[in-house]
Amino acid sequence: MEDKNIDKGCCCHTSKHRSEKEYKDLMNRLSRIEGQVRGIKGMLEKDAYCPEILVQVSAVNAALNSFNKVLLANHIRTCVADDIREGKDETVDELVKVLQKLMR
């Protein structure tokens, strides 16, 4: 269930230009995660032992958390910092809402 305020954003942002380095890093992380998920699917198809699957699921969760940390840090360093400099305090409210969702 997505919060419609997050999708639209509390500020005027609807997209984000990323540097080539940032884009490649995020895409590489997601590709590795995608491969891990396919590996888990393969384990299930081959009737792997449950604890082995659970360990791999834990690794995917850790990789997703790492992805979130990198994306959040980049967001704070760019969008949030720029908006605060421009006096757009509503971006802080948006960030607080996102952090609350991440900490569930």
CATH number for the domain spanning 90: value is 1.20.58.1000
Does residue 93 lie within any of the structural domains? yes
pLDDT more than 90, % of the chain: 81
With 80 as the cut, is the pLDDT of residue 62 above it? yes
- The contacts of residue 92 (CB under 8 Å, 6+ apart) are 80, 84
Q: How confident is the model at residue 1 (pLDDT cuts 50, 70, 90)?
A: very low
The reported pLDDT for the residue numbered 12 is 55
Please give the residue range of the domain that contains residue 35. Answer: 19-102
63: nearest Cα among 40, 103, 31: 31
Does residue 78 lie within any of the structural domains? yes
**How much is the pTM?**
0.80
For residues 40 and 4, the model is more confident at 40
In sequence order, which ranges of 1-104 are alpha helices (DSSP H)?
4-8, 20-45, 50-75, 81-85, 90-102
pLDDT digits (tens, 9 = 90+) for 16-41: 889 999 999 999 999 999 999 999 99
The reported pLDDT for the residue numbered 16 is 84
83 in Cβ contact with 94 (< 8 Å): no
Does residue 54 lie within any of the structural domains? yes
Q: How many domains does the chain have?
A: 1
